[in-house]
């Protein structure tokens, strides 16, 4: 099943609401802030566990520090230039 595509002007799009036990994936513009991303995630895909979504994985090293696979590091969106796929965590 293909991932949803962002609408014009949509800076943060939930693409996989459940990308594992405690993770979700978003497609974001490169300049989106963590605060902006987390606000959208908690509004559009609320997690009622331990305060909701709270961590945006920033790099392979950060992924390992968070206890998730280093493949959870941000990657370029293949369908939309200038956008990244990022993994968001809840605990």
pLDDT band for position 1 (cuts 50, 70, 90):
low
Whether the Cβ atoms of residue 82 and residue 67 lie closer than 8 Å to each other: no
Domains of the chain, by residue range, sit at 12-89
Q: What is the pLDDT of residues 18-53, one digit of tens each?
A: 988 889 999 999 999 999 999 999 999 998 777 899
Paired with 24 in beta bridges are 88
pTM of the model: 0.91
**Average pLDDT in the chain:** 91
- Predicted confidence at residue 33, as pLDDT, reads 98
């Amino acid at each position: 099943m293909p991932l949803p595509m962002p609408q014009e002007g949509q800076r943060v799009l939930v693409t996989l609401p459940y990308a594992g036990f405690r993770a979700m994936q978003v497609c974001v513009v490169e300049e989106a802030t963590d605060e902006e991303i987390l606000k959208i995630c908690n509004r559009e895909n609320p997690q009622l566990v331990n305060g909701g979504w709270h961590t945006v994985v920033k790099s392979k090293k950060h992924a390992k520090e968070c206890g998730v696979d280093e493949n959870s590091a941000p990657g370029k969106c293949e369908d939309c230039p200038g956008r990244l796929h990022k993994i968001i965590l809840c605990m």
